[in-house]
Chain A
């Protein structure tokens, strides 16, 4: 199994990365998985260049490919201005879709009041990408780090992701499908 961890924390070390690491340990305790961590901070300039130039740098390409080929993804972002960080969104803007991809969503913030950003921002974004989002999302505010409830929630979410990864392993990308030309022409000749 391949587990890819995308984390959008900006500081080093970051609490978002810390949360992602705890989730990763909890998942790999249940499924044997090769783990790849994608630190978006390191790719921030490459992501901006992709938006401008329309193609990824080699480093960004391998991050995109890793997510595309993953059997499961942990996606963690700080909550900024009531939503995911712009960097996090810009990275996932580079995918047309993530069909059937199991994703665990997680976020950090300075106050517990922003916890529903996971449900209002991240979950619909991944649903739009046709990913399968684990029912439990994990939010960690400053106060939660001292609280046993966070560990409980991490375990529950990790269990869900592990279970989804078992049921929906990644399928290798298929070759480009060509619709034979006669079929394309015939479709036009049918009356709309």
Chain B
């Protein structure tokens, strides 16, 4: 099982000090956080993609390429790659290039983006969100698998004898996760291709996601990729850790109360009761995280949101130290509970082996 962090890349004022980082400081902080993730023994760093303030990561492969050069083991991924507004040809090229530079330590997560005004900035229409996600991904999938592509669709100019370069490393396309918080169509899409399905369930109660993940697992089996239990599921998580749980609550509360996403709404206590958010001791985080598999089944990837709501870099790095101490326990406990026959999260090496016809 893989553990990692994902970042939205928001520039948010620290509500306890009134300090707002500059874009430059935030971008550099994201890199520092990514390097720290490898240092403390995490497997994955994933960045979001946004094209509007107050978010900085508009160019994920640039950032991930830089991180790749400064890390050895870390898998570089995205917390969303906008399959709706990006040209699938450019996604194919950018991520294949990144894959070569990072020696295969690359996968990515497709998402649609839910900010209406962003679509027309890229010549698209949010009302076509699902059809765009379906057509664009179908093309991306083909570009990575066929050396020469003739293609015609509804949303992009046709391609004649087109070769996307560079070709994927070792002829193995990056593994793809499809992220969705709402749409059964996307669970169906992930299942159809035998790709992963990532449910970022951090802001909502679990019941909704249990239905979506159940649907994905069932359809994954329907399309002949394996049993429902062998499907690839990723989950979000959100934690704030201090050795003493009351310290964690006291320190995190002003950030929670003012957080752009959920601030000024339900209390911290209500929110931790009803969503995956855990604010407390390492043991509380371990217990809550282990409970996810009881709702969603054995899963392959756990990403935590750690740097948001204006938390200063120093605090985030301390949080990653705590997380680094917890993750070995989680690895051990998840492994002990795991049903036989459950898949591991695909990596470049594992995909290369199965491409070569070697069963693992």
Q: How far is the CA of A15 from the CA of B188 in the complex (A)?
A: 50
Find chain B residues with CB under 8 A from A48 CB: 265
**Residues B86-134 near A (CB distance < 8 A):** 130-131, 134
**Residues B221-278 near A (CB distance < 8 A):** 223, 262-266, 270-271, 274-275
Which of A53-61, A77-85, A102-110, A139-147 contacts its partner? Answer: A53-61
Asked if A178 and B215 make an inter-chain contact with CB atoms under 8 angstroms apart, the answer reads yes
Given contacts A54-B204, A55-B204, A55-B274, contact A184 B185 (CB under 8 A): yes
Given contacts A57-B266, A176-B215, contact A188 B188 (CB under 8 A): no
Asked if A52 and B215 make an inter-chain contact with CB atoms under 8 angstroms apart, the answer reads no
Find chain B residues with CB under 8 A from A189 CB: 153
Given contacts A52-B262, A188-B153, A192-B154, contact A178 B219 (CB under 8 A): yes
Asked if B274 and A188 make an inter-chain contact with CB atoms under 8 angstroms apart, the answer reads no
Asked if A181 and B154 make an inter-chain contact with CB atoms under 8 angstroms apart, the answer reads no
Q: How far is the CA of A48 from the CA of B262 in the complex (A)?
A: 12
Minimum CB–CB distance from B6 to chain A (whole Å) comes to 19
Find chain B residues with CB under 8 A from A177 CB: 184
Q: How far is the CA of A186 from the CA of B153 in the complex (A)?
A: 11
Q: How far is the CA of A83 from the CA of B174 in the complex (A)?
A: 56
Asked if A181 and B189 make an inter-chain contact with CB atoms under 8 angstroms apart, the answer reads yes
Q: Mark A165-192, 1 if CB is under 8 A from B, else 0.
A: 0000000000011111110110111001
Asked if B211 and A49 make an inter-chain contact with CB atoms under 8 angstroms apart, the answer reads no
Asked if B265 and A178 make an inter-chain contact with CB atoms under 8 angstroms apart, the answer reads no
Find chain B residues with CB under 8 A from A192 CB: 154
Asked if B266 and A176 make an inter-chain contact with CB atoms under 8 angstroms apart, the answer reads no
Asked if A188 and B135 make an inter-chain contact with CB atoms under 8 angstroms apart, the answer reads yes
Find chain A residues with CB under 8 A from B215 CB: 176, 178
B55 at interface (Cβ–Cβ under 8 A)?
Answer: no
Asked if B154 and A53 make an inter-chain contact with CB atoms under 8 angstroms apart, the answer reads no
Asked if A180 and B188 make an inter-chain contact with CB atoms under 8 angstroms apart, the answer reads yes
B19 at interface (Cβ–Cβ under 8 A)?
Answer: no
Asked if A188 and B154 make an inter-chain contact with CB atoms under 8 angstroms apart, the answer reads yes
Find chain B residues with CB under 8 A from A180 CB: 188
Find chain A residues with CB under 8 A from B138 CB: 185
Q: Mark B199-231, 1 if CB is under 8 A from A, else 0.
A: 000011100000100010001000100000000
Q: How far is the CA of A37 from the CA of B196 in the complex (A)?
A: 44
Q: How far is the CA of A49 from the CA of B203 in the complex (A)?
A: 13
Find chain A residues with CB under 8 A from B189 CB: 181, 184
Asked if B203 and A54 make an inter-chain contact with CB atoms under 8 angstroms apart, the answer reads yes
Asked if B262 and A53 make an inter-chain contact with CB atoms under 8 angstroms apart, the answer reads yes
Find chain A residues with CB under 8 A from B270 CB: 49, 57
Asked if A176 and B211 make an inter-chain contact with CB atoms under 8 angstroms apart, the answer reads yes
B192 at interface (Cβ–Cβ under 8 A)?
Answer: yes
Q: Mark B156-168, 1 if CB is under 8 A from A, else 0.
A: 0000000000000
The one of A176, A182, A187 in contact with B184, judged by C-beta atoms closer than 8 angstroms, is: A176
Given contacts A53-B203, A179-B185, A181-B192, contact A188 B131 (CB under 8 A): yes
Residue of B nearest to A181 (CB): B192
Minimum CB–CB distance from A190 to chain B (whole Å) comes to 9
Find chain B residues with CB under 8 A from A57 CB: 266, 270, 274
Given contacts A178-B215, A181-B192, A184-B188, contact A53 B271 (CB under 8 A): yes
Q: How far is the CA of A49 from the CA of B211 in the complex (A)?
A: 24
The one of B131, B192, B223, B265 in contact with A52, judged by C-beta atoms closer than 8 angstroms, is: B265
Asked if B188 and A49 make an inter-chain contact with CB atoms under 8 angstroms apart, the answer reads no
The one of A53, A55, A178, A187 in contact with B188, judged by C-beta atoms closer than 8 angstroms, is: A178
Residue of B nearest to A52 (CB): B265
Minimum CB–CB distance from B276 to chain A (whole Å) comes to 12
**Residues A3-44 near B (CB distance < 8 A):** none
Find chain A residues with CB under 8 A from B204 CB: 54-55
Minimum CB–CB distance from A124 to chain B (whole Å) comes to 23
Q: How far is the CA of A189 from the CA of B266 in the complex (A)?
A: 45
Q: Mark A57-73, 1 if CB is under 8 A from B, else 0.
A: 11000000000000000
Asked if B266 and A49 make an inter-chain contact with CB atoms under 8 angstroms apart, the answer reads yes
Q: Mark B126-158, 1 if CB is under 8 A from A, else 0.
A: 000011001100100000000000000110000
Given contacts A178-B219, A188-B135, contact A53 B265 (CB under 8 A): yes
Residue of A nearest to B275 (CB): A55
Find chain B residues with CB under 8 A from A55 CB: 203-205, 274-275
Binding site for A on B (CB under 8 A): 130-131, 134-135, 138, 153-154, 184-185, 188-189, 191-192, 203-205, 211, 215, 219, 223, 262-266, 270-271, 274-275
Extra inter-chain contacts (11) besides given A52-B263, A53-B271, A55-B203, CB under 8 Å: A52-B262, A53-B262, A55-B205, A176-B211, A178-B188, A178-B219, A179-B185, A179-B188, A181-B223, A184-B188, A185-B135
Which 8 residue pairs spanning A and B have beta carbons closest together?
A52-B265, A181-B192, A53-B265, A49-B266, A49-B265, A55-B204, A188-B135, A53-B262
Q: Can you offer 6 A-B residue contacts whose CB atoms are under 8 A?
A: A57-B266, A179-B188, A184-B188, A185-B138, A188-B131, A189-B153
